[in-house]
Amino acid sequence: MNIYRQELRMLTPSAIYWSLGMLVCLLLFMLIYPPVAADVQGLEAVLANFPLEMRKALGLSSLNLARVLEFYAFVFLYILLIGAVFAMKSSLAVLSEEARSKTTDFLLSKPVSRFVIVTAKWGAVLTALLLQSILLILFSYMIVRIYGSFSSSLFLLITLSLIQMQLFFSALGLFLAALVRRMRSVLPLALGIVFGFFLVQIINQSVGERALGYITPFAYFDPATIVQHGAYNPTLVIINLSVSAVLVIAGYMAYHKKDFAAQ
């Protein structure tokens, strides 16, 4: 419990900054919503003639940016990007920080099992992510509400995809941190991996290549698709949960057997 509390305390400032970053991003995009909506309405008629293939390639397949919630869904892709980096980074950091600050022997010689250590550390990350989502739901609801009315349940579906995607990235972070012997820098690694998955989604968005969609969580929770169907794709939600679970279990096992360098 002490480990949990300590980690949570250390995570708090960055969790606050990153949540603020998401909200600022949303706020700034919402500022250009009214003029964009006006523009789009005039073009909607033209767009209808567009072959579907082409619209897909341009990422315009389903979103009507004149509607406030669909504009929100468009912006939410970027919020997901920020959230994913935060989840990955926090998860990588909590488990690799001891090696960097040379405190591994201090922690591991305490009368707690490694299992408890990982649980406490990763639990702290999950807590931070959960609080972040709650914060985001509250504030973004208020922000978007200013610009028009929308279906609250769809709003929740879109916004709740954040925590599910973060679950994947924090699980991946846990796994990598447990696996790699010495991790020198966390943020560059997190950025590289998350942007990699993001770009795979950009490619996937238009190829319509199913197989590619299975390898990136950005496709599991594509806001445009959620708006289109008004629901998650149950298969993809289950895939996300199971892949995350496998990563977490593998992470626990790797950490359990990890050979730590003495300092």
Partner 1 sequence: MNIVIRELKANLKPLLIWCGSMVFLIYGGMIKYSGIAGAGQEARKLFDQFPGAFKQVLGLGELDITTAAGFYALFYIYFLVLAGVHAVMLGTVIISKEERDKTADFIFVKPVPRHQIVTAKLAAVLTNLLVLNLTTLLASVVFVNMYNQGASISSKIALLMVFLFIIQLLFAALGALVAAASKTSKRAASISTLILFSTFLLSAAIDLYPKIDFLKFFTPFKYFSAAEIITRGSYQPWMLVLSLLLIGIFVYLTYRMVERRDLVV
CB of 239 to partner 1, least distance (A): 20
Q: Which is nearer to partner 1, 53 or 156 (CB)?
A: 53
> What dihedral angle (degrees, nearest 10) is formed by the CA atoms of 181, 185, 187, 193?
-50
Q: Which is nearer to partner 1, 191 or 249 (CB)?
A: 191
Site residues for partner 1 per CB under 8 A: 14, 17, 21, 25, 28-29, 32, 35-36, 39-40, 43, 46, 49-51, 53-54, 57-58, 60, 65, 74, 78, 82, 85, 100, 184-188, 191-192, 195-196, 199-200, 202-203, 206-209, 212
Q: Which is nearer to partner 1, 54 or 245 (CB)?
A: 54
CB of 194 to partner 1, least distance (A): 9
How many Cβ atoms from other residues are within 10 Å of residue 159's Cβ?
A: 21
Q: Which is nearer to partner 1, 100 or 258 (CB)?
A: 100
Q: Which is nearer to partner 1, 102 or 110 (CB)?
A: 102
CB of 241 to partner 1, least distance (A): 26
CB of 111 to partner 1, least distance (A): 29
CB of 191 to partner 1, least distance (A): 5
CB of 65 to partner 1, least distance (A): 8
In 3D space, the residue among 217, 79, 194, 70 whose CA is nearest the CA of residue 136 turns out to be 79
Residues in the chain: 263
Q: Which is nearer to partner 1, 90 or 248 (CB)?
A: 90
